[in-house]
Structure 1
Amino acid sequence: MGHGGNIIEELMTDHREVEEMFSRIESMTGKSPELRDLVDEVTIELVRHSVAEEQYLYPAVRKHVAGGDRLADKELADHGRIEKILKQLEKTDTDAPQRMQLLQLLMDEVSNHIQDEENTLFPKLREACSPETLDDLGDKIRRAKAMAPTRPHPASPDTPPANKLLAPGAGLVDRARDFVTGRGGGGGAPGDGGGGPPAPPRGR
Structure 2
Amino acid sequence: MGVDDRSLSGVLIRDHNHITNLLVRLVTPGENRRQLADELIGQLMRHMVAEELFLYPAIHKILPEGTVDAARHHDVDGRVEQILVGLSEAEPASHAFDALITRLIAEGRRSVLDEELDVLPRLAKHGDKRTLIELGDMVNAFKDIAVVEKTCGAGLAIRVGDWVVHRWERSQPPAPS
TM-score by length of 1: 0.71
Match of 2:100 in 1: 102
- Is the 1:61–1:69 contact (alpha carbons within 8 Å) kept by the matching residues of 2? no
Match of 1:54 in 2: 52
Shift, 1:13, TM fit = 0.5
Shift, 1:195, TM fit = 3.6
Shift, 1:69, TM fit = 7.0
Q: What is the distance in 1 between the residues matched to 2:66 and 2:85? A: 29
- Aligned-pair identity (%): 26
Q: What is the distance in 2 between the residues matched to 1:127 and 1:4? A: 16
Q: Does residue 83 of structure 1 match 2:81?
A: yes
Match of 1:23 in 2: 24
Higher-helix-fraction structure: 2
The correspondence for 1:130, drawn from 128, 131, 146, is: 128
The correspondence for 1:196, drawn from 156, 165, 172, is: 165
Query: 1 or 2 for the larger relative contact order (CA 8 Å, sep ≥6)?
Result: 2
Point out 4+ residue stretches in structure 1 off by more than 3 angstroms. Answer: 67-70
Q: What is the distance in 2 between the residues matched to 1:175 and 1:68? A: 34
Determine helix, strand or coil for the equivalent of 2:145. coil
Shift, 1:179, TM fit = 4.1
**Residue type of the partner of 2:55?**
L
Structure 1 alignment gaps of length 5 or more: 153-164, 166-171, 183-187, 198-204
What is the root-mean-square deviation of aligned Cα atoms in Å?
A: 2.3
Shift, 1:4, TM fit = 5.1
* Number of positions where the alignment pairs a residue of Structure 1 with one of Structure 2: 163
Structure 2 alignment gaps of length 5 or more: 167-177
- Is the 1:21–1:42 contact (alpha carbons within 8 Å) kept by the matching residues of 2? yes
Q: What is the distance in 2 between the residues matched to 1:60 and 1:101? A: 34
Match of 1:9 in 2: 10
Q: Does residue 119 of structure 1 match 2:117?
A: yes
Q: Does residue 180 of structure 1 match 2:157?
A: yes
TM-score by length of 2: 0.81
